[in-house]
Structure 1
Amino acid sequence: MSHANAALTPRQRLRLAQKIVDEEWTVAAAADYFRVSWPTAAKWARRYVELGEAGMADRSSRPHAHPNKTPTHRVKKIVHLRIRKRLGPVQIADRVGMPASTVHAVLKRCRLNRLSHVDVKTGEPARRYEHDKPGALIHVDVKKLGNIPDGGGWRYVGRSQGDRNRAVTAKRTGKRGIAGDMVTGTAYVHTVIDDHSRVAYAEIHDDERAETAIGVLQRAVSWFADRGVRVERVLSDNGPAYRSHAWRRVCAELAITPKRTRPYRPQTNGKIERFHRTMADGWAYVKHYNSESARRAALPAWLHFYNHHRPHTAIGKLPPISRISNNLPGQYS
């Protein structure tokens, strides 16, 4: 398409060329009539003779040859160092003897300019997937958080005061660790994420046993069903609860296919791992809670905000609930 200030549009070029070729105007007369230079008028007339009406379209300004293009063997070397060594442009440039700006340009063309595009474990370009409808796959996992002692934890009150608060709370609750020392205990946040919509469901419990995980799954499936989503598959890690016979039996009763990640490959369950980071930043550690009960009471409100109001960058900066088709305006807000 011609630019906004072009003297000749494709239609005007055709008219100019026809005046010269078909109506036998002189090039000078046509150039004066259409207010363009003599060489421009001659160019479009020549293209009209050679290509006809199709020759009036814009051509690419890309050069036919690239004498300064980075050689293929250099590109392969840059990509190899990026994937295998995870080096930055400056370090790669030093090894291959090229400017860092050129290395960065090569990495950008190869979509390797950001390390987030490269798998941390294998160094291979990251493979991303997304199921095509809500309920096709849900991810489940457990996030462990240390209980907040009465008066607040060390993140907000400092180490010394935090240790005193923990000791007082541990003495009140009577909880002890494996070594017999007084502890405040652990909150096990059982989380469920829909792969397509990123809608989240979560419950806090005091353990991660199979019966607890099964109860969370049953309630999550019912919760999704209330929103018109039928769960078909569930993906988990290789924790004891998810490897149990009881887990498989309940999945069969719910008509859900259980799947597990490859051992030592949390990236496969990356969506829920990323959700845990969002949850930690947005709820667990976002402010000073003066007790564990206060933090637990704040979880439902934050989940509502995450599902209904928080823009999610992975789905076009829309809230996750917008991907569930039967969510009528105001139905769950």
Structure 2
Amino acid sequence: MPHRNAPLTETGRLRLARCVVEDGWPLRRAAERFQVSPTTAQQWADRYRQFGETGMCDRSSRPHTSPRRTPTRTERRIVKVRLLRRWGPARIAHFLGLAPSTVHRVLTRSGLARLTHLDRATGQVIRRYERERPGELVHVDIKKLGNIPDGGGHKALGRPAGRKNRSNAGYSYIHTAVDDHSRLAYSEILTDEKKETATAFWTRAHAYFTSCGITVERVLTDNGACYKSHAWRETLTQAGITHKRTRPYRPQTNGKVERLNRTLLDEWAYARPYRSEAERRAAFSDWLHTYNHHRGHTALAGKPPASRVPNLTGQYS
């Protein structure tokens, strides 16, 4: 595709070439008519003589040969060290006697520029996927979080005073459901992770997704006791929803909700030094609204999850 300031489009090139080749125009006259140099007019006329209309398309500027490119054997060694040891470009370069910039270029070409693209346990490239439509798959998980004692924890008071003030603060359990396609999230802070609590949470989450025009087809969870209970299974079966569980010790399979848990901790739970658990909980609903409606998501080209849910507010139902 020609750049924005190009004097000729593909159609313009074809007209120029036909004027020269078929109508017999002199090069200077054709160049003046189409406001290009005689050299450019000669180029497109020659292309037309040799290839016809197909020759008017842009060609890749990549060279036919790259004699100074890193040898294939060296590239394979770089990739092998990356997969086996999970080292960065600088460390690999020192180990193999190469420049770090060379190693980085090879890793980029191989799709291994980020260590987050590799499974830390196995070194295998992580296969990323995304469902085609909202509701096709919903990820569900629970995050256990220590409560903030009244007066503040160590972030507000410092380590010594915070350690004295933290006794018997208890825990909160954040139940979260995330739509795979849109990343739309529904989350609640509850008191435990029992089967009755998890089942009641899903009933409310399902109602929320339905109100947004999303028909839930499948739900993916880990192998927690509450998700293996008869109550959970019956709740999903009655709604016509298929239940899927991850393999044991493979949280990566439920990675979208696991990643949301990390975002939730960074941008809400530990974003500032709260003075009490009530203060932190009061900020949760505003943060969740911002996440769904305003916060740009890297997997959605910088747009919020709401951009993929046309009927989020129910105005079209």
Q: Same fold (TM over 0.5)?
A: yes
Look up the match of 2:203.
Answer: 218
Question: Kindly tell me: are residues 256 and 52 of structure 1, through their superposed partners in 2, closer, same or farther at Cα, counting changes over 3 Å?
Answer: closer
Query: Percent identical across equivalent pairs?
Result: 51
For residue 259 of structure 1, give the secondary structure of its aligned residue in structure 2. strand
Equivalent in 270, 277, 299 of residue 292 of structure 1: 277
C-alpha distance 63-264 of structure 1, shift in aligned 2 (>3 A): same
TM-score (norm 2): 0.85
- What one-letter code is carried by the residue in structure 1 that aligns with 2:303? L
The verdict on how the C-alpha distance between 1:327 and 1:50 changes in structure 2, with shifts beyond 3 A counting, is closer
Which residue of structure 2 lines up, in the alignment, with residue 246 of structure 1?
A: 231
Out of 15, 24, 29, which is 2:19 matched to? 15
Partner of 1:280, secondary structure, is: helix
The total of aligned residue pairs comes to 309
Q: Which residue of 2 aligns with 1:92?
A: 92
2:259 aligns to what? 274
Which residue is 1:74 aligned to?
A: 74
Paired residue for 1:312? 297
Gaps of 5+ in 2: none
Q: What is the distance in 2 between the residues matched to 1:321 and 1:44?
A: 48
Mapped partners of 1:285, 1:106: distance in 2: 37
Tell me the equivalent position of 2:111.
111
Structure 1 residue ranges, 4+ long, deviating more than 6 angstroms after superposition: 5-9, 35-45
Question: How many angstroms does 1:228 deviate by?
Answer: 1.7
The Cα of 1:276 is off from its aligned counterpart by 0.9
The 2-side partners of 1:160 and 1:195 are apart by 42
Counterpart code for 1:246: A
Distance 1:71 1:144, change over 3 A: same
Structure 1 residues 55 and 241: alpha-carbon distance in aligned structure 2, compared to 1, 3 A threshold? closer
Secondary structure of 2:166's counterpart equals helix
Contact 1:197 1:321 in 2 (8 A): yes
Tell me how far apart the structure 1 counterparts of residues 290 and 38 of structure 2 sit (CA, whole Å).
Answer: 66
CA pair 235-14 structure 1, distance change in 2 beyond 3 A: same
Flag the structure with larger Rg. 1
Deviation (angstroms), 1:95: 3.5
2:97 is aligned with what amino acid? Answer: G
Provide the C-alpha distance between the structure 1 equivalents of 2:312 and 2:70, rounded to a whole number of angstroms.
52
Matches of 2:283 and 2:37, distance apart in 1: 73
Kept in 2: contact 1:17–1:44 (CA 8 A): no
2:174 paired residue among 189, 192, 198: 189
CA distance, structure 2, for counterparts of residue 230 and residue 42 of structure 1: 60
Cross-structure match for 1:166: 166
Answer yes or no: is the 8 Å Cα contact 1:143–1:276 preserved in 2: yes
- AA in 1 matched with 2:62: R
1:187–1:207 CA contact under 8 A, matched in 2? yes
Per-residue CA shift, 1:163-196, capped at 9, x if unaligned?
33334xxxxxxxxxxxxxxx21111111111111
Q: Summarize the Cα distance change of 1:143–1:43 in structure 2 as closer, same or farther, 3 Å threshold.
A: closer
CA pair 134-62 structure 1, distance change in 2 beyond 3 A: closer
Aligned to 1:173: none
Contact 1:16 1:44 in 2 (8 A): no
Aligned to 2:64: 64
1:261 aligns with 2:246: yes
Which residue identity lines up with residue 224 of structure 1 in the other structure?
F
Deviation at 1:288, TM superposition (A): 2.9
Letter in 1 for 2:135: G
Residue type of the alignment partner of 1:103: V
Give per-residue Cα distances to partners, 1:73-92, cap 9 Å, x unaligned.
22222111112211222222
Q: What pairs up with 1:124-135 in 2 under 5 angstroms?
A: 124-135=124-135
Alpha carbons 1:144, 1:188 under 8 Å: kept:
yes
Q: Which runs of 5+ in 1 are unaligned?
A: 168-182
Amino acid at match of 1:303: L
* The 10-residue stretch of structure 1 (126-135 or 292-301) with the greater mean CA deviation from structure 2: 292-301
Alignment TM-score, normalising by the size of structure 1: 0.81
CA RMSD of aligned residues (A): 2.9
- Aligned pair 1:153/2:190, yes or no? no
Q: SS at 1:166's partner residue?
A: coil
The question of 1:203 aligning with 2:203 is answered: no
User: Higher mean Cα deviation, 156-165 or 107-116?
Assistant: 156-165
Indicate yes or no: 2:209 matched with 1:228: no
C-alpha separation in 2, matches of 1:288 and 1:40: 65
Q: Do residues 323 (structure 1) and 311 (structure 2) align? A: no
Instruction: Give distance in 2, aligned partners of 1:223 and 1:6.
Output: 54
Whole-Å separation in 2 of the counterparts to 1:261 and 1:235: 7
